Copies of this chain bind each other. A is one copy, B any other.
Amino acid sequence: MKMTKAVRSILANYESDNPGTKANLARILMQGALGGTGKLVILPVDQGFEHGPARSFAPNPPAYDPHYHYQLAIDAGLSAYAAPLGMLEAGADTFAGQIPTILKVNSSNSWASGANQALTGGVDDALRLGCSAIGFTIYPGSDDCFEMMEEIKDMSAEAKSVGIATVIWSYPRGANMPKSGELALDVGAYAAHMAALLGAHIIKVKLPGDHVEQKDAQKPYEGIDGSSQAKRVAHVVEAAFNGRRIVVFSGGAKKGADSVYQDARDIRDGGGNGSIIGRNTFQRPRAEAMDMLARIIRIYKGRE
């Protein structure tokens, strides 16, 4: 693994981390078809916890099998594969050392009463399963947001001490967050900023729209150009320590392929680090998903 200048420059931003954590970040950044470019595409498969198996996998039944996702991520040349405990356990031996994995350590489900998640994995699990990172969701706007922050504070400190990286999914949601705010530009930038302040190495947020939700934010946003998606991405990246933290954007629910490609182009043009794209790939037939991922990778390489 000859380190590229692009990756070196990203790693240098993680200046308080030990070499163990940097090695795991490097593994993700040097993996697959985008290895060395500073861009990354992550496959997350945690929708089964949140929406149930049939809503997640019935559109493409082979995806019920945990091995399917490992194999898809590897064959498509992705950067990492993220999933909850059992999903990783079911393939961790077969695919050991073939692709960096991210243990999603908290999860919600369809009957959760509030906007919160259960802790469903630990740093010790990540070590025994050979994961490069833990993944954790916070819900800014939830009544339980403080509790979630305190959980990741503890887990991230433990992870950093043993060389495991931290990925924070920062998803505005909950009793104090109007529906209209979840995809607002100001809220998305704020969500990314909070993840960075909490010490995340990699930040996952949704692609925001151009709406500004918070009353107090109207004025500062007068001078911020959110007219195109690429510009909105650039603003989120700025909010994540001016590019000193890796930011990836999620694809959301399954949608048309062209829309997926346009998102990737906008993330690239706005200076985002890449995509974390689940349902849009594993809910399609494998051949179609492979094509789509190949094209996304070409986009991140600047070839279309």
Q: Which residues of A contact B (CB under 8 A)?
A: 1-3, 11, 13-27, 29-31, 48-49, 51-55, 58-59, 61, 64-66, 74, 84-99, 107, 109-113, 116-122, 124-125, 127-131, 140-143, 145-147, 149-150, 153-154, 157, 161-163, 172, 174-177, 186, 189-190, 192-200, 214, 216-217, 220-221, 223-224, 235, 238-239, 241-242, 244-245
Q: Give CA–CA (A304, B2) in the complex, Å.
A: 26
A223 B58 Cβ-Cβ under 8 A: yes
Q: Give CA–CA (A96, B201) in the complex, Å.
A: 15
A222 vs chain B, min Cβ distance (A): 9
> Given the complex, which residues of B lie within 8 Å of A91, measured CB to CB?
15
CB-contact partner of A118 in B20, B130, B149, under 8 A: B149
B97 A25 Cβ-Cβ under 8 A: yes
Interface pairs (30), CB distance under 8 Å: A13-B90, A14-B89, A15-B92, A16-B19, A16-B89, A16-B93, A18-B18, A18-B128, A18-B129, A25-B96, A52-B190, A52-B193, A53-B190, A58-B223, A66-B241, A86-B198, A87-B197, A90-B196, A109-B140, A111-B140, A111-B141, A112-B146, A113-B175, A116-B146, A118-B145, A119-B149, A119-B153, A120-B150, A124-B157, A124-B162
Using A145-B109, A223-B58 as known contacts, say yes or no to A242 and B65 having CB atoms under 8 A apart. Answer: yes
CB-contact partner of A216 in B23, B55, B109, under 8 A: B55
Closest 4 CB pairs of A and B: A26-B97, A23-B130, A19-B92, A15-B93
CB-contact partner of A86 in B22, B54, B221, B241, under 8 A: B241
> Given the complex, which residues of B lie within 8 Å of A147, measured CB to CB?
118
Q: Give CA–CA (A101, B273) in the complex, Å.
A: 28
> Given the complex, which residues of B lie within 8 Å of A186, measured CB to CB?
52, 54
With A15-B92, A118-B146 given, name 20 new contacts (CB 8 A).
Answer: A1-B98, A3-B95, A13-B90, A15-B94, A16-B92, A16-B93, A20-B128, A49-B193, A53-B190, A55-B220, A85-B198, A86-B199, A107-B149, A112-B145, A113-B175, A116-B146, A118-B153, A120-B197, A121-B153, A122-B154
Q: Which of A59, A86, A153 has the most CB of B within 10 A?
A: A86
A128 B90 Cβ-Cβ under 8 A: no
What is the chain B residue whose CB lies nearest that of A107?
Answer: B197
A59 B163 Cβ-Cβ under 8 A: no
A192 vs chain B, min Cβ distance (A): 8
A48 vs chain B, min Cβ distance (A): 5
What is the chain B residue whose CB lies nearest that of A168?
Answer: B86
A113 vs chain B, min Cβ distance (A): 5
Q: Give CA–CA (A227, B149) in the complex, Å.
A: 43
